[in-house]
Amino acid sequence: MAQTPPYTYPLTIGTSSTSILIANPTRKRVIFHNPNDTAKVAVCPVGPSRSNGAAVTAAINGPGCITILPYDRVDVPGPSTGGAQLAMPSAWIGIASAGGSALTIFEFE
C-alpha cells in the first residue's frame, strides 16, 4: 500500500553535512523533529546564499541553518499569498552535533 502525505522519513545523520531531503516541486510543508536526548540537529535548504552567492553548508548554529534542540521540532510551512499555499521545492541538508543522531522528517504535498 502506498504511503499518503505526510510522508515520513526516519534518518540517522552524523557530524558531516549531508543530504536529508530531495527536491520536490509539489512540497507544501515540512516538519523536522529532533528525537535525541542530547544531540542538536541543524537543517537548511540547499542552494546559494542570496547575500553572497556562496553555497550553504549545514552547521550547528550556522548561517542559513535552523538549529533544532533535543526533543524539539521545526515546522516550515510553505509561504502563503492570499490564503493559497505555495510550493517549497528545495532539497535540504542536515548535520548533527553527535554521530549516529536521529532525525525525523514529515513532508506534506
Among candidate residues 107, 105, 100, 109, the one with its CA nearest the CA of residue 12:
100
Task: Give the model's pLDDT for residue 80.
Answer: 63
Predicted model pTM? 0.86
* Res 86: pLDDT: 64
Write down the pLDDT at residue 39: 97
Asked if 94 and 42 touch (Cβ cutoff 8 Å), the reply is yes
Q: What angle do CA 100, 65, 109 make, to 5 degrees?
A: 85
Give me Rg for the CA atoms of the chain.
Answer: 14
pLDDT score at 82: 62
pLDDT tens track, the chain, 109 positions: 556 778 999 999 999 999 999 999 888 889 999 999 999 999 999 876 666 777 788 999 998 899 999 999 999 887 666 666 666 888 999 999 999 999 999 999 8
All three cell numbers of 70, joined, read: 533535543
